[in-house]
Amino acid sequence: MAKDPVCGMFVAESEGSLKATVRGTTYYFCSETCLASFMAPEIELRRIRWLTVLSFALGIPTLILTWIPLTIPAIPTPILLFLLATPVQFIAGSRFYRGMIHALRARTSNMDTLIAIGTTSAWGYSAMVTFIPGVLPEALYYEVAALIIAFILLGRYLEHLVRRKASDAIRKLMELQPSTARVVRDGVEVELPVEEVVVGDMIVVKPGERIPVDGVVVEGLTSVDEKMITGESIPVAKEPGKEVIGGTINLGGMIVVRATKVGADTTLSQIIKLVEEAQAAQAPVERLVNRVASIFVPLVVAVALASLAIWALLNGDTLRGLTSFIAVLIIACPCALGLATPAAIVVGTGKGAERGILIKGGEVLERAQRIDAVLLDKTGTITKGVPSVAEVVPLNGFDEENVLRLAASAELGSQHPLADAIVRHARKLGLELVWPKSLEELPGHGVSAMVEEGLVLVGNKTLLERNGVDPKGAEPEVERLESMGYTVVFVAVNGTLAGLIGVFDELRDGAVEAVSRLRQMGLRVLMVTGDNERVARAVAERVGITEVLANVKPQDKLNVVKMLQQQGLRVAMVGDGINDAPALTQADLGIAIGSGTDVAVESGGIVLIKDDPIDIARAITLSRLTMRKIKQNLFWAFIYNTALIPVAAFGFLNPILAAIAMALSSVSVLTNSLSLKTAHL
């Protein structure tokens, strides 16, 4: 079964099903109405508005003439009522017949089936009384058929308005994409459709213009407004070598950008695709709705027929039986039930996308709201992941400058973040560095390099001990540095401990607030890191974390998640989406933070474009709020159907009131979901 992306009802994925393929994704529809709404929403909105006006323009006079008959010599009142109601039934109501016929061909049923049967029964009974008098008890229900269609169309019109507002996020994202780009070809600027831009093209972007595709600045200085993509309100400075995202606005000077991602590969396209897939995906809570919906319509028809039979055959009241039959069919249309979950998911995921929080569907929302522990990777989540040298401690006759120069020279060929920090600091101080004659990297320990002065070891205590260097004399300084949260790098030259380098990874601005908010939400917050216990505790203490898992190698984070799950915890793992991929996948909820332009990471159920830790709390809060709306919607939709069907069956509900109630139920579910847009995260 597939879910109709418009009304949320479930339909069979068969050959005869109505379907459409958009950007490589196939969508199935319960009726031509929903298909038209999906493919051309503005045209369909105008069409429904016109049909609604027509229905009320003819339906209200029908009601008036039913209760206050007018004497027109040439036209009897029943004939006049027939002439007024018939265009409503077969012009305004034609969409319900088309939907019913299509459902019957697919050997299924939908809400159009109930509406078509109900209104046709009222109109058909009235027509028989009008043209074949004496066969049936004298009563006319033209106004019932006409106003049922009128109110249902009014409900559809209001649904379209609310749904359009609910899907604002996707529409706004689509509107960010410029239609053209100013490309330099053979030394000449030409304006091309953005679809014709290829990787490697040089694109000129003037102040105030949107950047057409992802790329790298090769010329010019500027600042860029990335708010609509990342949620970051402060403009971001850009210079040659910096990445820019397609769809963002160039606020400063003119820049030249080399295209690196085009078409479906751009960040904006990936975000739109991810959000569309999330909004179309079925949440586990919908499985129950799916099962109910598959038997609901036939069951309702059976109840309606039973009500008609009981009133007509047992009580001899055919007219009341007919009104009960119609009222049951109309009141039971499962629109609200079908909209309950997808409406909230569309608004929730859309709101997240506006804030740079990408949630991959309803299943992720359900898992997120059940989380009771959050495991934060220290590097890149709590800290910025860009270490810098805080202090150099010379030992055994070496001076500070020599220790730093020798260590930086030895690290020149290394790609390790700590090596990069040492080299950057040495160059910042203007030290002259010499490439090592030989370099051996020892993963997890450091480097061994041959420089002009001899053999230089740069790394941890284990590296020195394995090479016969005794680091014990430096223990007091090591303790002091580690108690400050510094990672200690040992430097030895020709077998002598030359000094220590304290490297500090700065805390992210929102780390303290993020941890505080997570704890206020009732979540256990733990930190995992490869640092030793002393350094880990120092960092954790600064952000308010009391539970620390230290000395954990990257490949062992998966086991840490399993260990916590074995303790009965439902764990959210927060990491970078690449190095932490196995742990993110194992966790009950994986949150990939700071993905930037790489929004398509597979391992994160939630992808945070920015590297702001506050977004972790916001993502979980949004998930909880969305699931709360889903539960509220399902509760009221279920109560509405179960409470009012018996009322209709026992003859206490006028069919016109049933149509009004049915329309209002759908609008109320959508409106309740829409309130998520103003929720504080």
Single out the catalytic residue among 4, 201, 214, 377.
Answer: 377
Residue 238, beta-bridge partner list: 222
Angle in degrees, CA 198, 201, 206, rounded to 5: 120
Rounded Cα–Cα distance for residues 33 and 94 (Å): 10
Q: Which residue shows structure tokens 């990257």?
A: 554
Nearest Cα residue to 201 out of 220, 221, 181: 181
Residue 188, beta-bridge partner list: 185
Nearest Cα residue to 4 out of 264, 273, 289: 289
First to last CA, the chain: 34
Provide CB contacts within 8 A for 293, sequence distance 6+: 9, 10, 334, 337, 338
Rounded Cα–Cα distance for residues 62 and 401 (Å): 97
Rounded Cα–Cα distance for residues 176 and 152 (Å): 35
Nearest Cα residue to 528 out of 488, 556, 566: 556
Rounded Cα–Cα distance for residues 199 and 189 (Å): 17
> What DSSP element (H or E) covers 8?
none
Rounded Cα–Cα distance for residues 659 and 149 (Å): 8
Residue 75, beta-bridge partner list: 72
Supply φ then ψ for residue 5, to 5 degrees.
-70, -10
Enter the tokens of residue 643.
Answer: 């409470």
Indicate the length of the chain as a whole number: 681
Indicate if the alpha-carbon torsion angle 312, 313, 317, 318 is positive or negative: positive
CA distance to 58, 500, 506, per residue, from 487 (Å): 80, 10, 12
Nearest Cα residue to 7 out of 606, 637, 653, 605: 637
Q: Which residue shows structure tokens 């709705």?
A: 289
Contact 386, 417 (CB under 8 A): yes
Is 588 noted as a catalytic residue in this protein?
no
| Active-site annotation, residues | 377
